Amino acid sequence: MKDLGNVLQFMNYNAPYAGNFIRSLTNLEETLSVEGLKMVYLFPKKVANRSWAQELIDSNKDVFFLSDNFFRDIVTIMSLLKKFNIKIIHTHFTDSKIHMYFNLVRYLFNRKIFIVRHLHNHYKPSNYVVEFLKRASSRIDFYIGCGQSVADHYSQEFRISKAQVSSVPNAIDFQRLESYTILTNASLPEGTKRFLLFGFDYYRKGVDIAIEAIDELRKENYEVCLLISLSKNKEFISSKIIEKFGEIPDWLFLVEARDDIATYYRSSDIFISSSRAEGLCYSLIEAAYCQVPIIASDIPGHTSLNIPYITHFLPQDASSLKRALIEVLSMNEDMKQRQAIARKEFVSKEFDLAEWSDRILATYMSL
């Protein structure tokens, strides 16, 4: 096998739960260890108090944190490269600032080190002059798109050679979705259909589109309600809803994020992703595995997954979403069940976590 050296993963990730992302990285670590390679975790300072970060430490993984002090962090990064014989730095959810750090350290270290940036969304350049300066000061050797549409978009928008960008579709730790309970809520009238939406980003996730469509359904006497799961921004999203309705309607429930996310899927009649933009939408894959009917906006981050029997609606069109909801609500149970089985079988095969780890390893080997 090619002598890769070891891998430093830097993740600007601060979610309240480890979620699928951290589980993907720990699976990758296991794959690398089989090949005799070590993986080191590096996070921003703000992550140190997260319980899942402490769990990584308690599992005897090599976990480190930056300090928010420029000179101290440069020393920290240099010491990690030397101590662990790092040859690849793989970054996630990052901007040009941290890449400048890594490029400076690479220059001071005077050793061949590859910097790989993971692309998790359809990023857009703000200004080509600014982007040129960023690229000159924070050189990236290779990019990995979380899906093909993300890789193609980045290559085109940022004028990056296609040879420098690859696609490794994200995968799911399906075992995580086997743990769940069924929600009960006395405030929901009997017979009310529950819709589920993840809405931490009010605009990008299309919360406004979903609540408008469901409000129209309610006016037509459909007994439906909406659960919006929020990992952050609850105060802002509440204010936007109150701005529209004057209050939080009694059919709308803002619920906390939870690690056993399958509980929300399994307790819902329809999952909605009304996003204006997505990189690779984990939630569609998770919902398919949990066998809940899915309605999603017709955007590349959704359609590129090729999951069968998803009902799509026109992006940013609440009327189109309302029609899609009525269509799914009208399906007979036999059809829903057959479609649910087909979706689960598809995602179980196409988004296997072990396959993702193998493809990331192969990408490292190709550098």
Task: Give me the pLDDT at residue 365, please.
Answer: 92
DSSP helix/strand/coil, 165: strand
Does 258 lie in the same domain as 150? no
243 and 204 in a single domain? The answer is yes
Residue 243 falls inside a structural domain: yes
Number of structural domains (the chain) is 2
Residues 206 and 160 in one domain: no
- 142 and 225, same structural domain? no
Closest by CA to 226, choosing from 201, 254, 203, is 254
Determine, yes or no, domain membership for 59. Answer: yes
Please give the angle made by the CA atoms of 11, 22 and 303, to the nearest 5 degrees.
95
**Distance between CA atoms of residues 37 and 16, nearest Å:** 29
Record the pTM.
Answer: 0.80
Same domain, 100 and 232: no
Same domain, 53 and 138: yes
- In a domain? residue 315: yes
Mean pLDDT of the chain: 91
Identify the domain containing residue 312 by its residue range: 175-350
Contact of 124 with 136, CB cutoff 8 Å: no
Same domain, 12 and 154: yes
Q: Are residues 205 and 322 in the same domain?
A: yes
Question: What is the model's pLDDT at position 3?
Answer: 63
List, for residues 322-333, the tens digit of each pLDDT value: 999 999 999 999
Considering the domain architecture, whether residues 107 and 97 belong to the same structural domain is answered as: yes
Task: Verify that 201 and 309 share a domain, yes or no.
Answer: yes
**Residue 1 within a domain:** no
Same domain, 237 and 210: yes
- 280 lies in some domain: yes
What confidence score (pLDDT) does residue 181 get? 87
Asked if residue 1 has pLDDT above 50, the reply is: no
The CATH code of the domain that includes 21 is 3.40.50.2000
Same structural domain, 107 and 255: no
pLDDT of residue 143: 96
Q: Residue 273 phi/psi, 5° resolution?
A: -125, 100
Burial readout 277-316 (b: 16 or more C-beta within 10 A, e: otherwise):
bbbbbbbbbbbbbbbbbbbbbebbbbebbebebbbbbebe
Q: Among positive and negative, which fits the CA dihedral 63, 67, 69, 72? A: negative
Question: What distances in angstroms separate CA 129 from CA 101, 125, 135, 151, one per listed residue?
Answer: 21, 10, 10, 22
Q: What is the pLDDT of residue 188?
A: 64
Q: List pLDDT tens digits, range 258-316.
A: 888 999 999 999 999 999 988 878 899 999 999 999 999 999 889 989 999 999 999 99
Give the tens place of pLDDT for each residue, 188-207: 666 799 999 999 899 999 99
